[in-house]
Structure 1
Amino acid sequence: MKRTRLGLFLLAFTLCLSLLLPVLSASAEEETNIATTDAEAAAKLGLLLGDGNGVTSDYLSKMSTRLQAAIISLRLQGKLQDALAYTGTDSFSDSSLVGSANKPVLAYLKAHAELGWNGTGSGKFDPLEMISAQQFYKVLLEVLGYKSGADYKYADTLAFAAGKGLKQIAGVSMLTNDDIATALIESLNSKSAGGATLFAKLQSGGVIAASAVQPDGTRIGLGKNAKLGTYLTDSAGRTLYYFTKDAANLESCQGQCLTAWPVFYADKLQIPSSLNPDDFGVYKRADGTEQTTYKGWPLYYFVKDMAAGDVNGEGVSGVWFVAKSDYAAMLGTSAALGNYLTDENGRTLYYFDKDTMNKSVCEGTCLANWPAYLADGGSTPTGVASSDFGTITRADGSKQTTYKGYPLYYFIKDAAHGDANGQAVNNVWFVVDPAKFTGTTAGAAAPAVKTYHIDIKDYSFGTGPLTVEAGSQIIFTNYDDMKHNAVAVDGSFKGPLLAKGESFTITLTKPGTYDYYCEPHKKFMTGQIIVK
Structure 2
Amino acid sequence: MMTSKKMTAFVLGTAVALSSALPVLAADGSTEAVAPVVKTDAQVAADLGMLQGEGSGVTDAYLAKATTRLQAAILFLRLKGLEQTALAYKGMDNFTDAASVSEANKAILGYLKANPSLGWSGTGSGTFEPSAGVTAQQYYKVLLESLGYKQDSDFTYDGVLAFANKQGLTQVAGAGSLRNGHIAAATLEALKAKVKGGSKTLADTLAEQKVIDAAKAAETQYARINIAANPDFGAYLTDSAGSTLYWYTKDMENMSMCKDQCAVNWPIYYADNMQIPAELNAGDFKSIVREDGKKQTTYKGMPLYYFAKDEKAGDTKGQGVNNVWYAASYSAVTVAKDEKLGSYLADGKGMALYLYTKDTENKSVCKGTCEANWPIFYSEHITSSGDLKAPDFTVITRDDGTKQTAYKGAPLYYWVKDAKPGDVTGQGVGSVWYVIDPTTSSKQSAAPETSKGKAYAMDIAGFKFTQPELTVEVGSTVTFTNKDKIAKHNVVSDALVEGKPLFATPLLADGESYTLTFNQPGEYTYFCEPHKESMKGKIIVK
Q: For the superposition of Structure 1 and Structure 2, which TM-score range results when normalised by the shorter chain?
A: 0.5 to 0.7
User: 2: CA distance between counterparts of 1:530 and 1:307?
Assistant: 59
User: 1: CA distance between counterparts of 2:118 and 2:105?
Assistant: 17
Deviation at 1:269, TM superposition (A): 0.8
Superposition map of 1:315-330 within 5 A: 320-328=326-334
Q: SS of the residue aligned with 1:376?
A: strand
Question: Residues 61 and 531 from structure 1, CA distance in 2 versus in 1: closer, same or farther, beyond 3 angstroms?
Answer: farther
Q: Is there any run of 5+ residues in structure 1 with no aligned partner, and where?
A: 1-19, 330-342, 344-348, 350-359, 406-438, 455-463, 477-485, 487-504, 516-527
Q: Is 1:308 aligned to residue 320 of structure 2?
A: no
Q: Give the corresponding residue for 1:52.
A: 55
Superposition map of 1:123-142 within 5 A: 123-142=126-145
Question: Residues 314 and 107 from structure 1, CA distance in 2 versus in 1: closer, same or farther, beyond 3 angstroms?
Answer: farther
Contact 2:195/2:201 (CA < 8 Å) preserved in 1?
A: yes
Amino acid of the structure 1 residue aligned with 2:329: A
Q: 1:151 aligns with which of 151, 154, 160?
A: 154
User: 1: CA distance between counterparts of 2:391 and 2:139?
Assistant: 39
Deviation at 1:255, TM superposition (A): 6.6
Q: Give the corresponding residue for 1:206.
A: 210
Amino acid of the structure 1 residue aligned with 2:346: D
Q: Give the corresponding residue for 1:110.
A: 113
Deviation at 1:37, TM superposition (A): 2.3
Question: Residues 297 and 211 from structure 1, CA distance in 2 versus in 1: closer, same or farther, beyond 3 angstroms?
Answer: closer
Contact 1:328/1:375 (CA < 8 Å) preserved in 2?
A: yes
Amino acid of the structure 2 residue aligned with 1:472: N
Deviation at 1:42, TM superposition (A): 2.3
Question: Residues 470 and 33 from structure 1, CA distance in 2 versus in 1: closer, same or farther, beyond 3 angstroms?
Answer: farther
Question: Residues 399 and 94 from structure 1, CA distance in 2 versus in 1: closer, same or farther, beyond 3 angstroms?
Answer: closer
Deviation at 1:387, TM superposition (A): 6.8
Contact 1:388/1:403 (CA < 8 Å) preserved in 2?
A: no
Q: Is 1:472 aligned to residue 475 of structure 2?
A: no
Superposition map of 1:89-108 within 5 A: 89-108=92-111
Superposition map of 1:145-224 within 5 A: 145-195=148-198, 196-209=200-213, 212-215=216-219, 216-224=221-229
Superposition map of 1:455-494 within 5 A: 472=482, 474-475=484-485
Deviation at 1:386, TM superposition (A): 1.5
Contact 1:218/1:269 (CA < 8 Å) preserved in 2?
A: yes
Superposition map of 1:346-357 within 5 A: none
User: 2: CA distance between counterparts of 1:300 and 1:203?
Assistant: 34
User: 2: CA distance between counterparts of 1:403 and 1:146?
Assistant: 52
Residue deviations 1:87-112, cap 9 Å, x none?
Answer: 33433343344333312222222221
Q: 2:440 aligns with which of 386, 404, 426?
A: 404
Question: Residues 226 and 90 from structure 1, CA distance in 2 versus in 1: closer, same or farther, beyond 3 angstroms?
Answer: farther
Question: Residues 100 and 249 from structure 1, CA distance in 2 versus in 1: closer, same or farther, beyond 3 angstroms?
Answer: closer
Deviation at 1:70, TM superposition (A): 0.3
Contact 2:66/2:178 (CA < 8 Å) preserved in 1?
A: yes
Identity %: 42
Q: Give the corresponding residue for 2:237.
A: 232
Amino acid of the structure 2 residue aligned with 1:276: N
Contact 2:38/2:273 (CA < 8 Å) preserved in 1?
A: yes
User: 1: CA distance between counterparts of 2:178 and 2:224?
Assistant: 19
RMSD: 4.8
Q: Give the corresponding residue for 1:272.
A: 277
Deviation at 1:75, TM superposition (A): 1.8
Q: SS of the residue aligned with 1:35?
A: strand
Contact 2:48/2:213 (CA < 8 Å) preserved in 1?
A: yes
Contact 1:470/1:531 (CA < 8 Å) preserved in 2?
A: no
Q: 1:88 aligns with which of 55, 68, 91?
A: 91
Question: Residues 402 and 221 from structure 1, CA distance in 2 versus in 1: closer, same or farther, beyond 3 angstroms?
Answer: closer
How many residues are matched?
A: 387
**TM-score scaled by length of structure 1:** 0.59
Q: Give the corresponding residue for 2:19.
A: none
User: 1: CA distance between counterparts of 2:44 and 2:390?
Assistant: 38
Q: Give the corresponding residue for 2:403.
A: none
Superposition map of 1:487-526 within 5 A: none
Amino acid of the structure 1 residue aligned with 2:81: G
Q: 2:347 aligns with which of 363, 374, 377?
A: 377
Q: Give the corresponding residue for 1:295.
A: 300
Amino acid of the structure 1 residue aligned with 2:195: S
Question: Residues 46 and 400 from structure 1, CA distance in 2 versus in 1: closer, same or farther, beyond 3 angstroms?
Answer: closer
Amino acid of the structure 1 residue aligned with 2:440: K
Question: Residues 37 and 388 from structure 1, CA distance in 2 versus in 1: closer, same or farther, beyond 3 angstroms?
Answer: closer
Amino acid of the structure 2 residue aligned with 1:30: A
User: 2: CA distance between counterparts of 1:376 and 1:165?
Assistant: 32
Deviation at 1:136, TM superposition (A): 1.8
Amino acid of the structure 2 residue aligned with 1:277: A
User: 2: CA distance between counterparts of 1:507 and 1:531?
Assistant: 20
Residue deviations 1:28-57, cap 9 Å, x none?
Answer: 661113312222222222222221322233
User: 2: CA distance between counterparts of 1:475 and 1:258?
Assistant: 47
Amino acid of the structure 2 residue aligned with 1:377: D
User: 2: CA distance between counterparts of 1:328 and 1:374?
Assistant: 8
Contact 1:168/1:222 (CA < 8 Å) preserved in 2?
A: no
Q: SS of the residue aligned with 1:105?
A: helix
User: 2: CA distance between counterparts of 1:214 and 1:128?
Assistant: 33
User: 1: CA distance between counterparts of 2:536 and 2:306?
Assistant: 48
User: 2: CA distance between counterparts of 1:108 and 1:264?
Assistant: 48
Deviation at 1:69, TM superposition (A): 0.9
Question: Residues 111 and 238 from structure 1, CA distance in 2 versus in 1: closer, same or farther, beyond 3 angstroms?
Answer: same
Amino acid of the structure 2 residue aligned with 1:204: E
Q: Give the corresponding residue for 2:475.
A: none
Question: Residues 72 and 400 from structure 1, CA distance in 2 versus in 1: closer, same or farther, beyond 3 angstroms?
Answer: closer
Amino acid of the structure 1 residue aligned with 2:208: S
Question: Residues 381 and 21 from structure 1, CA distance in 2 versus in 1: closer, same or farther, beyond 3 angstroms?
Answer: closer
Amino acid of the structure 2 residue aligned with 1:404: T
Contact 1:134/1:171 (CA < 8 Å) preserved in 2?
A: no
Residue deviations 1:439-490, cap 9 Å, x none?
Answer: 6xxx57667xx9x9x9xxxxxxxxx9999795526445xxxxxxxxx9xxxx
User: 2: CA distance between counterparts of 1:39 and 1:303?
Assistant: 33
Q: SS of the residue aligned with 2:159?
A: helix
Q: Is there any run of 5+ residues in structure 2 with no aligned partner, and where?
A: 1-22, 349-381, 393-406, 409-423, 429-433, 448-456, 467-478, 488-508, 514-525
Residue deviations 1:128-184, cap 9 Å, x none?
Answer: 222233222221211111112111122222232232232333322232222222223
Contact 1:168/1:221 (CA < 8 Å) preserved in 2?
A: no
**TM-score scaled by length of structure 2:** 0.58
Deviation at 1:281, TM superposition (A): 0.6
Contact 2:26/2:290 (CA < 8 Å) preserved in 1?
A: no
